[in-house]
A and B are shown apart, each in its own frame.
Chain A
Amino acid sequence: EIVLTQSPATLSLSPGERATLSCRASQSLSNSLAWYQQKPGQAPRLLIYDTSNRATGIPARFSGGGSGTDFTLTISSLYPEDFAVYYCQQRSSWPLTFGGGTRVEIK
């Protein structure tokens, strides 16, 4: 099973600041990684797939990068609605796995 480790667990930032979230895999994923956003009481929403492709309707301030075992999600300038929990997920091999999440909170 591929283990995904997200860091930091919590990121405290102010609106307008840049957020950089990390996801590290226990083995190479090639580019088979996605990012999701989840707000309290809501279902997750797909943001990025295959490392760097924005899903439909996702603003350009969200970008993804990396390859192999190290991946990042960057939010170039935080909007109030971006404060949420973010999860990475791999599709490289079964079972599909998620990271433990990074909470982006208002400083």
Chain B
Amino acid sequence: EAQLLESGGGLVQPGGSLRLSCPASGFNFHSYAMSWVRQAPGKGLEWVSSINGGGTTFHADSVRGRFTISRDNSKSTLYLQMNSLRAEDTAIYYCAKVRDWGTIWYFDLWGRGTLVAVSS
């Protein structure tokens, strides 16, 4: 069964850093693009970052220059390095598998999410 399992969330002060991890299992990780999508408490979904099978990355304007998405195909793991965190980054962060290597940008498998809370 295909699975994604996020970890690395927690409480951090404004200006701090966190690194989220998302190990994948049950599918050929290297063959698929991957993404991070977040959801602020009680709010809707917001796309954050994506990386295709070749390693090309895409970031939302709201996080560009502060967040970096990466992947380690040898470990079947997706990462999100988050620096200079702000209160408005507080959200559940979901790891999501994209339907293909990097052209059909829909999310057909989601993890359970990890909560990032930015507060002093």
Contact = CB atoms under 8 A, between A and B. Distances in A.
B26 to A, nearest CB: 14
Contacts of B60: 95
B105 interface: yes
Q: Interface residue tally of chain B, by bracket?
A: 20 to 34
Interface string B82-100: 0000000000001000010
B61 interface: yes
Nearest to A38: B45
A49 B46 contact: no
B44 A98 contact: yes
Given A34-B106, A49-B104, A100 B44 contact: yes
Nearest to B62: A95
Interface residues on A, range: 20 to 34
Nearest to A35: B106
Secondary structure of the A contact surface, majority rule: loop
Contacts of B45: 36, 38, 44, 87, 89, 98, 101
Interface string A22-45: 000000000000101010000111
Given A36-B45, A89-B106, A98-B45, 20 more contacts: A43-B110, A43-B111, A43-B112, A44-B45, A46-B107, A46-B108, A49-B104, A50-B106, A55-B108, A87-B44, A91-B106, A95-B58, A95-B60, A95-B61, A96-B105, A97-B47, A98-B46, A98-B47, A99-B44, A100-B44
Interface of B: 35, 37, 44-47, 50, 58, 60-61, 94, 99, 104-108, 110-113
